Amino acid sequence: MSGKKSAAPKPDMTVKQFKETVIKHLRSTLGTYEEKASKQAWNQAIAASVNEFIFDGVSRTRKTHAGKDARAVHYLSLEFLMGRLMSNNLQNLGLYELADKAMKELGFELADILEEEPDMALGNGGLGRLAACFIDSMATLALPAIGYGIHYEHGLFRQEFFKGRQVERPDQWREFGSPWEICRPESEQVVKLYGYVETVYENGGSHKVWHPGRTMRAIPWDIPIVGYGGHNVNVLRLWESRADKFFDWDVFNSGGYVDAYTESVQAETVSKVLYPNDETDAGKELRLIQQYFFSAASIADVMRRFRNAHGNDFSKFTALNALQLNDTHPAIAIPELMRVLVDEEGISWAEAWKMTRETFSYTNHTLLPEALEKWPLRMIQHVLPRHMEIIFEINARFLKDEVETKWPGNDGIKRKLSIIEEANGQMVRMGNLSVVGSHAVNGVAQIHSDLVKKDLFPEMNELWPGKFLNVTNGITPRRWMKACNPRLSTLIEKHVDADWPRYLEKLTALKPLADDSKFQKEYMAVKHANKEDFVKVIKELTDVDVSADAIFDVQIKRLHEYKRQHLNLLYIMALYRRLLINPDYDMHPRVFIFGAKAAPGYYLAKEIIFAINKVAEKVNNDPRIKDKIKVVFLPNYRVSLAEKLIPAADVSQQISLAGKEASGTGNMKLALNGAITLGTLDGANIEIAEEAGEENVVIFGMDVDEVVETREQGYNPGHYYQNNEELKAVLDWLDSDFFTPGEPGLLSAVKHNLVDHDPYMVLADYQSYSDAQSKIDALYRDKKAWARAAIINTASLAKFNSDRSIQDYADTIWNLKPIKAAAK
Ligand code: GL7
């Protein structure tokens, strides 16, 4: 064991002082007092106390960056799935234990009070949560960075089940305000829309003037992002849309009370709701306006800051600014920057284009065709007439100067690479625009980045060798271990340096302990205690009784056919059938745990949820199987629920069809917390297997090459259905009324999709999956072998620290150096 040093400072505050501060805020900020205050009020009082540290950090960091004229990255993302902020902030400031003690002395459990905080669910899934982990890491690494997004009034919908079916309810994360945000009216921006473009001829030349049809206000709300150790506090700036003229007095006075509000209602709609679609193209004018609204406001903000420091000398612009596109959602920022540089600053096209390309970089998060954004050309022309002209110009120059030079006379390649797609009445391909307008393009796991080059943009890769890179995703160990798994963190800290949440490679010190039976027992006792806690959560949320001695087999992620929750379901049904046929069927008891939201308009995904719930109902109440299987579908899966479940998981199901899951990040969180991955060779699973060792994960199914081969040979799911007795039996079961008494056919959609189409080859991988599940069962029964594998997983995952991902971005894409904020 080496010397322990802590990266988290001990703040110069005592428990007594913390208590006093909380009570001060309870009285003077919340206007209540100890005897009367609700838990909600205590929560807010703690937040206000913590903010005394945080706000000071915000100003120190800002001042340092401004003073040094620092190069900064601006991370543009339509989604930031933050979850709760309190516990993370307390941890990163090193205040958690102090606050815990203080609250105990005041007669409360801190953990209880923390439950009062609503999740900040301004994202759908992996892509949004990645952005949240990344801004934590940027602050931790002291990188000058700012996250830009939308201040949605309603985040991702709250999910309820009614008779087994998903029902969506609005999310109200800031119904009573949020203590973490600071409104910055002084940095308000104006965003223009619609209208027409005029060519103005003057002094022998001409320039373009956009006469917008309407304008709206963008109001920034800053959420402080506390780096681990508390030295650096960056901000996440979220834009709220408001009507330009809050109220039209003329219309109001002439009797048009309702009309006077129309404009404000329309403008405020822009930041009203997060689109709940995950990996599908929303294709709505409002969504395009959301994308433009936050991109334009953010670029205006970057410009404002730059002009304050440098006036209109743009020679240093690219040296000081990097703009990162989190997927194509903010791609409209590329023509927006061109517009500002050319039309507003009078910079030549060639110069502006060079600056734009040097400034932008783009992360691709998916190969799924339905998620690659395309906008109808007519729509862009209508909403953003000047931008459409700019896109035409970018495209014309790209095709003429770059594509034609490389492939003279090749119209086929031109058609393929063009930013404009001629089919479907002309569409603008946002992926092509992003690649053309960026100096670097990265995928999110090695295999995904390879496929981006090979399958998605092969010609672009030939045109610009070196432009396409890989940055494997990561997760912040602060939230996903230190804060969410205190028992394991405490155990770890007995053996490794206290700064492991910053330097996760320190966990390799646990490897020699993997065979130590005392440590194995301690490690598994932690897992068991976490499971006992989660047994209560399951009971509370679903009223199902489960035993912590069973295997907790977990699949948590958005509901999507490619993620194959229905493969999991088929296996559950098969196990159930085996037990009905042979009540002595030898297996370790198992709890199958699902958490997943389906996009509200995604029919089959909702049918899969319904089928799982119906099978669960039957299985959970069948005395014949003696509780050997339990199935629970947790409603409203979200970050704060993940934080409770992940520490309790034994098995991590990562069973997407190979080639479809770009990376996955839940796979990293679960493995770090000691769950064994049951997965395909897809996304980051491959790298997890490399790091943890193939013997410590259970891999099954076709790999990418086999998937391609099977498809080329003409995939026929009916073949698997006909030739696998068990598979046929469980699929036919879905047609009966066994799970829906008196109502046969309610679950047929799932069966028929699989037998007749099976776009994600569930049936082809079924047998291999079932065999892999048997391996899991056998491994679990060998207690020492299981403990060993789990420990090795925890000890081996340093690569998936999001600090490493961000360091890669900083080194290979942003060329960004840390600047530590000055001390007080
Ligand atoms: C995703 C990928 O599906 C997921 O595999 C990846 O981990 C995540 C972050 O890179 O991005 N792409 C995508 O469109 N969504 C994702 O979660 C919604």
127 C-alpha to ligand 1 centroid (Å): 5
Give the pLDDT confidence score for residue 424 in this predicted structure: 81
- Provide residues with CB under 6 Å of ligand 1: 124-127, 130, 278-279, 365-366, 371, 444, 473, 661-665, 683
- Mutate which of 444, 472, 661 for ligand 1? The one with the most ligand atoms within 8 Å of its CB, which is 444
Give yes or no: 528 in active site. Answer: no
Closest CA to 274 of 563, 474, 77, 473: 77
Please indicate, yes or no, whether residues 548 and 636 belong to a single structural domain of this protein. Answer: yes
Please give the model's pTM, rounded to 2 decimal places.
0.97
Give the pLDDT confidence score for residue 264 in this predicted structure: 79
Q: Judge whether 29 lies within some domain.
A: no
Please indicate, yes or no, whether residues 462 and 569 belong to a single structural domain of this protein. Answer: no
Distance CA 609, CA 565 (A): 9
Q: Kindly write down the DSSP assignment for every residue of 479-532, as one continuous string.
A: IIIIIT-HHHHHHHHTTS-TTTTT-GGGGGGGGGGGG-HHHHHHHHHHHHHHHH
Closest CA to 629 of 594, 596, 595, 587: 587
Distance of CA 190 to the CA centre of its chain: 29
For residue 212, what are the contacts with CB-CB under 8 A and spacing of at least 6? Answer: 192, 193, 194, 195
Structure tokens of 702?
Answer: 């076709």
Ligand 1 atom 4: the closest Cα is on which residue?
664
Give yes or no: 669 in active site. Answer: yes
The angle, 0 to 180 degrees and rounded to 10, between the axes of the packed helices 565-581 and 603-620 is: 30
- For residue 130, the ligand 1 atom closest to its alpha carbon is 9
Give yes or no: 557 in active site. Answer: yes
3-class DSSP string for 106-155: CCCCHHHHHCCCCCEEECCCHHHHHHHHHHHHHHHCCCCEEEEEECCCEC
Distance CA 149, CA 301 (A): 12
The single residue of 84, 479, 502, 669 carrying the catalytic annotation is 669
658, 704 Cβ separation under 8 angstroms: yes
472 C-alpha to ligand 1 centroid (Å): 12
Give yes or no: 508 in active site. Answer: no
Please indicate, yes or no, whether residues 522 and 431 belong to a single structural domain of this protein. Answer: no
SS3 content of the chain, % helix, strand, coil (to 5): 50, 15, 30
Structural element, H or E, at residue 711 = helix 704-712
Q: Judge whether 745 lies within some domain.
A: no
pLDDT tens digits along 2-58: 344 445 556 779 999 999 999 999 999 999 999 999 999 999 999 999 999 999 999
213 C-alpha to ligand 1 centroid (Å): 36
Share of the chain above pLDDT 90, in %: 93
Q: Is 70 left (phi over 0), alpha (psi -120 to 50) or beta?
A: beta
Ligand 1 atom 12: the closest Cα is on which residue?
365
Q: Judge whether 6 lies within some domain.
A: no
Structure tokens of 450?
Answer: 């390879």
Spans of the chain, pLDDT less than 50: 1-6
- For residue 683, the ligand 1 atom closest to its alpha carbon is 5
Structure tokens of 365?
Answer: 């998060």
Q: Judge whether 823 lies within some domain.
A: no
DSSP 8-state code for residue 356: H
Distance CA 559, CA 144 (A): 36
Give the pLDDT confidence score for residue 361 in this predicted structure: 99
Give the pLDDT confidence score for residue 245 in this predicted structure: 65
Amino acid at 259: D
232, 57 Cβ separation under 8 angstroms: yes
Q: Is 706 exposed, middle or buried (0-12, 13-18, 19+ CB in 10 A)?
A: middle
Please indicate, yes or no, whether residues 320 and 395 belong to a single structural domain of this protein. Answer: yes
Please indicate, yes or no, whether residues 309 and 369 belong to a single structural domain of this protein. Answer: yes
Please indicate, yes or no, whether residues 533 and 443 belong to a single structural domain of this protein. Answer: no
Distance CA 640, CA 484 (A): 9
Give the pLDDT confidence score for residue 754 in this predicted structure: 98
Q: Is 495 exposed, middle or buried (0-12, 13-18, 19+ CB in 10 A)?
A: middle
Q: Kindly write down the DSSP assignment for every residue of 566-606, as one continuous string.
A: HHHHHHHHHHHHHHHH-TT-----EEEEEE----TT-HHHH
451, 704 Cβ separation under 8 angstroms: yes
Beta-sheet strand order (sheet of 698-699): 629-634, 590-595, 551-556, 651-654, 676-679, 698-699
Give the pLDDT confidence score for residue 280 in this predicted structure: 87
383, 296 Cβ separation under 8 angstroms: no
Q: Judge whether 512 lies within some domain.
A: yes
Return the CATH number at 513: 3.40.50.2000
Backbone φ and ψ for 797, nearest 5 degrees, come out as -100, 20
Distance of CA 618 to the CA centre of its chain: 34
Contacts of residues 248-252 at CB distance under 8 Å and 24 or more positions apart, as own/partner, are: none
Please indicate, yes or no, whether residues 616 and 664 belong to a single structural domain of this protein. Answer: yes
3-class secondary structure, 345:
coil
Q: Judge whether 95 lies within some domain.
A: no
416 C-alpha to ligand 1 centroid (Å): 25
The angle, 0 to 180 degrees and rounded to 10, between the axes of the packed helices 565-581 and 725-735 is: 100
DSSP 8-state code for residue 244: S
Distance CA 571, CA 738 (A): 17
Distance CA 122, CA 127 (A): 11
Ligand 1 atom 11: the closest Cα is on which residue?
127
126 C-alpha to ligand 1 centroid (Å): 5
3-class secondary structure, 805:
helix
Could you give the number of structural domains in the chain?
A: 2
> Residue 319 to residues 21, 314, 333: CA-CA distances in angstroms?
43, 10, 18
Q: Residue 654 sits in which domain range?
A: 507-702+761-795
78, 329 Cβ separation under 8 angstroms: yes
Q: Judge whether 152 lies within some domain.
A: yes
Distance CA 336, CA 802 (A): 30
Distance of CA 50 to the CA centre of its chain: 26
Please indicate, yes or no, whether residues 451 and 526 belong to a single structural domain of this protein. Answer: no
630 C-alpha to ligand 1 centroid (Å): 29
β-strand pairing of 72-76 with 145-150: parallel
786, 656 Cβ separation under 8 angstroms: no
Q: Judge whether 63 lies within some domain.
A: no
Amino acid at 65: H
Half-sphere exposure of residue 295, counting CA atoms within 13 Å on the CB side? Answer: 28
Which stretches within 398-471 are classed as H helix? 404-406, 411-417, 430-436, 446-451, 458-463
Closest CA to 480 of 83, 125, 173: 83
The single residue of 237, 387, 558, 590 carrying the catalytic annotation is 558
Distance CA 135, CA 802 (A): 9
DSSP 8-state code for residue 549: T
Give yes or no: 665 in active site. Answer: yes
Please indicate, yes or no, whether residues 616 and 694 belong to a single structural domain of this protein. Answer: yes
The single residue of 65, 71, 74, 365 carrying the catalytic annotation is 365
721, 735 Cβ separation under 8 angstroms: no
Ligand 1 atom 7: the closest Cα is on which residue?
664
- For residue 664, the ligand 1 atom closest to its alpha carbon is 7
Q: Kindly write down the DSSP assignment for every residue of 201-218, as one continuous string.
A: EETTEEEEEEE-SEEEEE
Give the count of beta carbons closer than 10 Å to the beta carbon of residue 505: 15
30 C-alpha to ligand 1 centroid (Å): 40
Ligand 1 atom 15: the closest Cα is on which residue?
127
Please indicate, yes or no, whether residues 536 and 407 belong to a single structural domain of this protein. Answer: no
Please indicate, yes or no, whether residues 356 and 219 belong to a single structural domain of this protein. Answer: yes
Please indicate, yes or no, whether residues 465 and 530 belong to a single structural domain of this protein. Answer: no
3-class DSSP string for 611-654: HHHHHHHHHHCCHHHCCCEEEEEECCCCHHHHHHHHHHCCEEEE
- For residue 661, the ligand 1 atom closest to its alpha carbon is 5
